[in-house]
Structure 1
Amino acid sequence: MFFASDNASGVAPEVMAALCAEGGSALPYGGDPVTAEVTALVREIFAAPEAEVALVASGTAANALALATLTPPWGAVFCREGAHVEADECGAAEFFSAGAKLVTLPGEGGKLAPETLEAALARFTPGDLHAVRPAALSLTNVTELGTVYQTSEVAALSAVARTRGLLCHLDGARFANALVATGATPAAMTWRSGIDALSLGGTKNGLLGAEAVVLFDPARAEELRIRRKRSGHLLSKHRYLAAQMRAYLADGLWLRLARQANEAAARLASGLSGLPDVQLQHPVEANLLFVDLPATLCRRARDAGAVFYDYGATGDHMTVRLVCSWNTTDADIAEFLAILR
Structure 2
Amino acid sequence: MNFASDNVTGASAPILDAVVRANAGAMPAYGADPLTAALQARFRALFQHPDLVVFPVATGTAANAIALAAMVPPFGLCLCHEEAHVMGDECGAPEFYTHGAKLAGLPGTGAKIDPAAFDATLSAMPRHVKQMPARALTLSQATEGGLVYRPDEVARLAEGAHRHGLAVHMDGARFANAVAALGCPPADVTWRAGVDILSFGASKNGALAAEAIVVFRPDLAETIEYRRKRAGHLLSKGRLLAAQLHAYLDDDHWLANAATANRMAARLGRGLAEIPGVRLAWPVEANEVFPILPAHLERSLKEGGATFYGWHSTSLPPGEAVREGEVFARLITAFSTTQAEVDAFLDLARACA
Q: CA deviation at 1:125?
A: 2.8
**In structure 2, C-alpha distance between the alignment counterparts of 1:32 and 1:158, rounded to whole Å:** 36
SS for the counterpart of 1:208 is coil
Pairing 1:1-341 to 2, within 5 Å after superposition: 1-22=1-22, 23-126=24-127, 128-312=128-312, 314-341=323-350
Are the equivalent residues in 1 in contact too, given 2:81–2:113 (CA < 8 A)?
A: yes
SS for the counterpart of 2:223 is helix
Deviations along 1:111-156, one digit per CA (max 9) or x if unpaired, are 1122211111122233x11011110000011010011110000000
**In structure 1, C-alpha distance between the alignment counterparts of 2:176 and 2:335, rounded to whole Å:** 11
Map of 2:319 onto structure 1:
none
Q: CA deviation at 1:101?
A: 1.0
Q: CA deviation at 1:206?
A: 0.4
Report the AA paired with residue 93 of structure 1.
P
**In structure 2, C-alpha distance between the alignment counterparts of 1:24 and 1:234, rounded to whole Å:** 20
Report the AA paired with residue 340 of structure 1.
A
SS for the counterpart of 2:170 is strand
CA-based RMSD of the aligned residues comes to: 1.0
Deviations along 1:237-293, one digit per CA (max 9) or x if unpaired, are 011110000000111000000000000001111111111001111110010011111
SS for the counterpart of 1:147 is coil
**In structure 2, C-alpha distance between the alignment counterparts of 1:334 and 1:100, rounded to whole Å:** 46
Report the AA paired with residue 178 of structure 2.
A
Q: How many residue pairs get matched?
A: 340
Structure 1: gaps of 5 or more residues: none
**In structure 1, C-alpha distance between the alignment counterparts of 2:268 and 2:133, rounded to whole Å:** 44
Report the AA paired with residue 89 of structure 2.
D
Q: CA deviation at 1:300?
A: 1.4
Q: CA deviation at 1:220?
A: 2.3
Are the equivalent residues in 1 in contact too, given 2:177–2:258 (CA < 8 A)?
A: yes
Deviations along 1:187-228, one digit per CA (max 9) or x if unpaired, are 111110000000000000000110000011112222000000
**In structure 2, C-alpha distance between the alignment counterparts of 1:112 and 1:340, rounded to whole Å:** 33
**In structure 1, C-alpha distance between the alignment counterparts of 2:273 and 2:299, rounded to whole Å:** 19
**In structure 1, C-alpha distance between the alignment counterparts of 2:324 and 2:115, rounded to whole Å:** 35
SS for the counterpart of 1:55 is strand
Q: CA deviation at 1:232?
A: 0.3
**In structure 2, C-alpha distance between the alignment counterparts of 1:89 and 1:338, rounded to whole Å:** 36
SS for the counterpart of 1:70 is coil
Q: CA deviation at 1:82?
A: 0.5
SS for the counterpart of 1:8 is coil
Are the equivalent residues in 1 in contact too, given 2:81–2:139 (CA < 8 A)?
A: yes
Report the AA paired with residue 310 of structure 2.
D
Q: CA deviation at 1:314?
A: 3.9
**In structure 1, C-alpha distance between the alignment counterparts of 2:185 and 2:114, rounded to whole Å:** 22
**In structure 2, C-alpha distance between the alignment counterparts of 1:201 and 1:102, rounded to whole Å:** 21
**In structure 2, C-alpha distance between the alignment counterparts of 1:211 and 1:116, rounded to whole Å:** 31
Are the equivalent residues in 1 in contact too, given 2:110–2:144 (CA < 8 A)?
A: no
**In structure 2, C-alpha distance between the alignment counterparts of 1:281 and 1:133, rounded to whole Å:** 35
Are the equivalent residues in 1 in contact too, given 2:2–2:306 (CA < 8 A)?
A: yes
Using the TM superposition, name which of 106-115 and 8-17 deviates more: 106-115
Report the AA paired with residue 76 of structure 1.
L
Q: Percent identity?
A: 48
Q: CA deviation at 1:302?
A: 1.1
Report the AA paired with residue 110 of structure 1.
A
SS for the counterpart of 1:103 is strand
Using the TM superposition, name which of 194-203 and 117-126 deviates more: 117-126
Structure 2: gaps of 5 or more residues: 313-321
**In structure 1, C-alpha distance between the alignment counterparts of 2:227 and 2:180, rounded to whole Å:** 32
SS for the counterpart of 1:156 is helix
Structure 1 length normalisation: TM-score?
A: 0.98
**In structure 1, C-alpha distance between the alignment counterparts of 2:202 and 2:40, rounded to whole Å:** 15
Q: CA deviation at 1:63?
A: 0.5
Q: CA deviation at 1:100?
A: 0.9
